[in-house]
Chains A and B, each alone.
Chain A
């Protein structure tokens, strides 16, 4: 392990080079928040096509599956009505 991201404020360890989705999956975190249509945000395709794993990073929405982890990176669930 080479550090931790902060998922909704809680530390989640990651390995160098891995995506936010990958680190969250290892930690058993599958539900990533709510999408505005009522669906839950979650990894589906894992390669950016389905756009289902949106999370909030510095107030911007990004795909968890395509976003690399950095130590101390603050990532939050997209939240109801955002995305």
Chain B
């Protein structure tokens, strides 16, 4: 058992959270291997709109952490940072077509004000939306300071860091922690590492069966290219702000997000379905998304649907991600359950997870919010390495 470690850290999962953790660990001089069952950005990170959004986060812990991560991500995108050219600044718009949605926008304005930046309201009113917004929109809140970062592009940028080895497609069969390190059992061999970061998303329960992580699928539509810049930033239904904390289902007017990609294409998302079958798509669901999207942005009717697909998010029973060392096996640090918020939170979470692995304190001022994500909150059914 006491063989010298092959790596300082094994990061399980090459999604955006794992990739960020690997980058932060390697920057600390650690030797890191990233292991994935299929490859980089193979699950939620590669199937997301890429919105780095604070507005969409639940007030409280999530909004505060997202805000902190937004500010940090903007730093990572500065000269010399890994996300330079990957993260981009852009305006974002939140739209209401009913009194209830207008009320949700009022709450949004208050939330943004309380956070104190970098996101800020630049316009608010019936005419605050970009040109071309549909006539049924009664109120729009425009924000500056949020941004865009494609998950797969961020993963590629993080993993390009020197000192990060890659291992895929390889399945981790089991983890066994002891006083000196962790043995990572792969199909054909074992790896010996000092510590493990498990950023496994919906696959988390295969290794940690006690974790209350379930898959939540969302269907999305990708269109062909419009003239670039025809929509300067994403349009988000105000009902989305409410729905993210409500129970899933397929309401008549689904909470829709229209995200303009750098290619000129639009990504229209997304449904929330309680299963993990990302091969399953259906016309009825995407038609409702498309109809609602075209209500917000009528020019979409002329666009072509190029692709319909589904992505799977990792949802946690209490709606908060799970980040922190396992109580029973502190050499194993979890970072999972972001349910679509991983794009925004990945910057900060990578940094904090690296601090935890190094045995250092997390960022000053964020201690309580990060403690709220600890797996210890599920202590009665404490997830234990199999």
Tell whether A67 is near chain B: CB-to-CB under 8 Å. Answer: no
Q: B302's contact among A36, A37, A59, A81, by CB below 8 Å, is which?
A: A59
State in angstroms the CA–CA spacing of A82 and B228 once bound together: 9
Interface residues on chain A, number (Cβ under 8 Å) = 9
A46 at the interface (CB under 8 A from B): no
Please give, as numbers and ranges, the residues of chain A lying within 8 Å of B80 by CB-CB distance.
none
Which residues of chain A have C-beta atoms less than 8 A from B264's C-beta? 36, 81
The docked-state distance in angstroms from the alpha carbon of A61 to that of B226 is 11
- Chain B residues near A61 (CB, 8 Å)? 224, 302, 304
Bound CA–CA A82/B303 (angstroms): 9
Q: Which residues of B contact A60 (CB under 8 A)?
A: 302
Q: How far in angstroms is the closest Cβ of chain A from B80?
A: 31
- The reply to whether the CB of A68 lies closer than 8 angstroms to some CB of chain B is no
Rounded to whole angstroms, the CA-CA distance of A80 and B264 in the bound complex is 12
A83 near B: Cβ within 8 Å? yes
B304 in contact with A81 (CB, 8 Å): no
Instruction: State whether A83 and B228 are in contact (beta carbons under 8 Å apart), knowing that A36-B264, A61-B302, A61-B304 are contacts in the complex.
Output: no
- CB of B222 to closest CB in A, whole Å: 14
A61–B227 CA distance with the chains assembled, in angstroms: 13
A81 to B224, Cβ gap below 8 A?
no
- The CA of A59 and the CA of B302, in the complex, are separated in Å by 7
Per the bound structure, the CA–CA distance linking A82 and B227 in Å amounts to: 5
Interface flags for B223-235 (1: CB within 8 Å of A; 0: not) read 0111110000000
Please, which residues of chain B bring their CB within 8 A of the CB of A36? 225, 227-228, 263-264
Please give me the residue from chain B that is nearest to A81 by CB atom. Answer: B227
- Report A51-83 CB contacts with B as 1/0, cut-off 8 Å: 000000001110000000000000000001111
A61 to B223, CA, bound (A): 12
Query: Which partner residue on chain B sits nearest A82 by CB separation?
Result: B227
B141 CB, min distance to chain A CBs, angstroms: 29
Contacts of A82 in B (CB 8 A): 225-227
Task: List A residues 6-63 near B (Cβ within 8 Å).
Answer: 36-37, 59-61
Residues of A within 8 A of B225 (CB): 36-37, 81-83
A25 CB to nearest chain B CB (Å): 24
- Which partner residue on chain A sits nearest B265 by CB separation? A36
Q: Across the interface, do A83 and B302 meet the contact criterion of CB distance under 8 Å? A: no
What separation, in Å, do the CA atoms of A37 and B302 have in the docked complex? 19
Q: Mark B262-306, 1 if CB is under 8 A from A, else 0.
A: 011000000000000000000000000000000000000010100
- Tell me which residues across on chain B come within 8 A of A37, comparing CB atoms: 225
Supply 21 A–B pairs (Cβ within 8 Å), ascending by A. A36-B225, A36-B227, A36-B228, A36-B263, A36-B264, A37-B225, A59-B302, A60-B302, A61-B224, A61-B304, A80-B227, A81-B225, A81-B226, A81-B227, A81-B228, A81-B264, A82-B225, A82-B226, A82-B227, A83-B224, A83-B225
Given contacts A80-B227, A81-B228, A83-B224, 19 further A-B contacts (CB under 8 A): A36-B225, A36-B227, A36-B228, A36-B263, A36-B264, A37-B225, A59-B302, A60-B302, A61-B224, A61-B302, A61-B304, A81-B225, A81-B226, A81-B227, A81-B264, A82-B225, A82-B226, A82-B227, A83-B225
